[in-house]
Amino acid sequence: MALNTQPNLHEPGKRHFRAFSPGDDFYEALIETHRELTDEQSAMVNARLILLLANHIGDISVLREAMQIAREGA
Amino acid sequence: MLSTFQYPKFDYVRPPEIAEGRDGHCPVVIVGAGPVGLSAAIDLAQQGLRVLLLDNDDTVSIGSRGVCYAKRTLEVLDRLGCAEEMVQKGVSWNVGRTFFREEEVFNFNLCPEPDHHRPGMINLQQYYLEDDLIKRARLLPNLEIRFRNNVIGVTPDAEQATLRVETPDGAYTLSADWLIVADGARSPIRTMLGLDIDGKIFMDRFLIADVVMKADFPTERWFWFDPPFHRNQSVLLHRQADNVFRIDFQLGWNADPEEEKKPENVIPRIKAMLGDDREFELEWVSVYTFQCRRMNRFNHGRVLFVGDAAHQVSPFGARGANSGIQDTDNLVWKLKLVMDGKAPATLLDTYSDERCYAADENIMNSTRSTDFITPKSAVSKTFRNAVLGLAEQFPFARALVNSGRLSVPSFLADSRLNTADSDVFAGNMIPGAPMDDAPIATADGTQWLLGAVGNRFQLLHYVPDAGALDAASAQALRGLIDAPIAVEAIVVAERGTAPAGLTTLIDAKGRVRERYDLREGTSYLVRPDQHVAARWRALDLAQVRAAVARATCNA
């Protein structure tokens, strides 16, 4: 499976009437996860988050593709 | 500075209360003749009520201020009989460009869904909008506007609100059965009554400049994150009527508003942005900060708060005047029913509930935009810049770029005025939904669905051939008008003419059937503010009556 770069966010049981809502729901939750953390704590949260999500995705070829794109923009 | 607009000066007229040395009374008094107060006044006057609108000034909005008027607002203003002039004068745009540092990262075309009367939004200076509203208001004989009438005291009780009003000729006392407070964000009346409004202040300042461009410039919305000409801040450019362009510069909290407003400081900023060779003139400059906050409830006995007096949002997403006008859309039909004795005063609690819900949604959306545009922490800024960096190549990231979300109406899905579905429907026109527009044809020449509904309860009943409507259904539909709260029946059809006494609405392009998932017998009960109250797959008069009772707190 290739890396999906189309908008893909959704939430079971929640009805979105506007196309921008699921992405904005996620982004707010992401920033909220870092609220009142130091930069060092935030870096640790991000690392833990990536590890959790990588395991959830499972397919290492997808992860390699994402890691390569992420590194290109550093 | 240049002036593309001549500010009208409205005459102050000595109030009869002062001339005759007596107290005054009016069933409804509205304080504040901005877009929201004027909309409330026009709507109530159209409903046949006698209305008095007080304003402490004698002209329209100074400066362009609110410049984006969204589709739903235009639909409300259509119902008030004045959107056409605004749409003609205003600027419709579809293309938006987003820049990050030196590069354009992507552009979008709003490309509105076809077959709606009004565009997603228009850009129009607030003074034009107010001027058109005042012209409309002056055509209504039961609506009186008093300029330079400043409310200096208010005493509410269980039956009415008593005002003390100051004029150039002295003060007088005025009582109202109902007082609508539309006196803006600082709301002197809210303060006089000691009512709280809670929320947060955003620690940022923005410079807004209206400039008149001498040469052609595209009718597009341009948004810069961290541009080379204004490092670490954001800039927004969009067009209004008369070749006037609005430019917003984020300044940061430590900027000195008085210094920043000086033309010798503003002009270099604009030159850096436009390039030295482009000619422009400055028309208006202001520096603002903002808050996101709302009152706990909008109705306090006989005193009803609307617009900025009740709730404030950040300007990203144009949800100030737009949401205020939608407040009045929600309030006026309820107040009319209560004043006519056809609904209990608890119906006004649902004004507060429904519009608090909408205010929370507006605050949420505009706060999200603000947090994206002006990140509050290092990690938030890193994520923001990562999104912008990915946006050039990847559609998912474009969807996350939030430079302001178009102001759209709330779906009042949880309102207690709704009757829950008992049948299955596709699409979004659920109970509580703001109605979708669609092209139609009627005998009187109405071309849009939203032009045919509103101002009263109506039942839309669908059959393919209106001429083939069976006699029993026709009689049942006609009978809906004979009730304390009358319901006007409308037969929606592909063809034919309904039997005498019933209005026929031809679904010219099949969009009504598509958007409302209509099948033979499907019936929608819609509210006077063009929201769905209930719907069924078959017509049942008892269910319709029960839904009307529920939608008016008479259940």
| pTM, full prediction | 0.96
Tell me which chain B residues have a C-beta less than 8 angstroms from the C-beta of A30: 383
Q: Decide: B249 and B237 in contact? Cβ < 8 Å.
A: no
Whether B232 and chain A come into contact, CB under 8 Å, resolves to no
Determine whether the interchain pair B400/A18 forms a contact, defined as Cβ–Cβ distance below 8 Å.
Answer: no
Q: How far is B278 from chain A (nearest CA, A)?
A: 35
Handedness of CA B361, B366, B369, B374 (dihedral sign): negative
Q: Which helix (H) or strand (E) holds B38?
A: helix B35-46
Residue-wise burial string across B122-149, b where 16 or more C-beta atoms lie within 10 A, e elsewhere: bbbbbbbbbbbbbebbeebeebbbbbbb
Q: Does the distance separating the beta carbons of A37 and B379 come in below 8 Å?
A: yes
Output the six-digit token pair for B315: 């300007």
Residues of chain B neighbouring A69 (CB-CB closer than 8 A): 390, 394
Domains annotated on chain B, with CATH: 16-88+119-198+293-365 (3.50.50.60), 441-551 (3.40.30.10)
Distance from CA of A20 to the nearest CA of B (A): 7
Length of chain A: 74
Q: Which of residues 417-446 of B touch A (CB under 8 A)?
A: 428
Q: pLDDT at position B203, please? A: 84
According to DSSP H, which parts of B340-405 are helical?
347-373, 378-391, 395-400
pLDDT by 10s per residue, chain B, length 555 = 668 899 999 999 999 999 999 999 999 999 999 999 999 999 999 999 999 999 999 999 988 889 999 999 999 999 999 999 999 999 998 889 999 999 999 888 877 889 999 999 999 999 999 999 999 999 999 999 999 999 999 999 999 999 999 999 999 999 999 999 999 999 999 999 999 999 888 888 999 999 998 878 888 899 999 999 999 999 999 999 999 999 999 999 999 999 999 999 999 999 999 887 889 999 999 998 888 999 999 999 999 999 999 999 988 888 899 999 999 999 999 999 999 999 999 999 999 999 999 999 999 999 999 999 999 999 999 999 999 999 999 999 999 999 999 899 999 999 999 999 999 999 999 999 999 999 999 999 999 999 999 999 999 999 999 999 999 999 999 999 999 999 999 999 999 999 999 999 999 999 999 999 999 999 999 999 999 999 999 999 999 999 999 999 999
How far is B44 from B458, CA to CA, in rounded Å?
19
Please judge whether A46 and B394 are an interchain contact, meaning their C-beta atoms are less than 8 angstroms apart.
no
d(CA B522, CA B518): 6
Q: Does B379 touch chain A (CB under 8 A)?
A: yes
Q: Could you tell me the two tokens for B268?
A: 């270099």
Query: Any idea which residue has 């410079």 for tokens?
Result: B207
**Ranges of H-type helices in B243-320:** 257-261, 263-274
B182-221: burial string, b at 16+ Cβ within 10 Å, e else: bbbbebbbbebbebebeeeebebbbbbbbbbeeeebeeeb
Contact B252, B231 (CB under 8 A): no
Rg, chain A, Cα only: 14
| Cα angle, residue B509 at apex, residues B508 and B513 outer, rounded to 5° | 95
Contact between A23 and B400 using a beta-carbon 8 Å cutoff:
yes
Q: How many angstroms separate the CA atoms of B266 and B249, rounded? A: 10
For residue B2, what pLDDT is reported?
64
| CB contacts < 8 A (A, B) | 59
Token couple for B540? 């049942």
Task: Judge whether B101 is closer than 8 Å to chain A, CB to CB.
Answer: no
Interface test with A, best of B292, B361, B373, B377 (most A CBs within 10 A): B377
Q: Which residues of A touch B (CB under 8 A)?
A: 4-9, 15, 17-20, 23-24, 26-28, 30-31, 34, 37, 39, 42, 46, 69, 73
Taking the CA atoms of residue A19, residue A25, residue A26 and residue A27 in that order, the dihedral angle to the nearest 10 degrees is 100
SS3 B17: helix
Strand ranges (E), B9-124: 24-31, 51-54, 68-70, 91-92, 95-100, 103-109, 121-123
The CA distance from A22 to the nearest CA of chain B, in Å, is: 9
Contact B316/A at CB under 8 A: no
Helix ranges restricted to H, B221-320: 257-261, 263-274
**B400 interfacial to chain A (CB closer than 8 Å):** yes
**Is B408 in Cβ contact with A5 (below 8 Å)?**
no
Nearest to A5 among B368, B389, B395 (CB): B395
CB contacts, 8 Å: B378 with chain A: 39, 42
Dist. CA B180–CA B184, nearest whole Å: 12
Please report the pLDDT score of residue B49 as a whole number: 97
Q: CA B486, CA B38: separation in Å to the nearest integer? A: 27
Helical (H) or strand (E) element with A60 = helix A60-72
CB-nearest to B405 from A5, A20, A46 is A20
The dihedral formed by the CA atoms of B196, B198, B203 and B205, expressed in degrees to the nearest 10 = -60
Q: Which member of B379, B396, B405 has the closest CB to residue A34?
A: B379
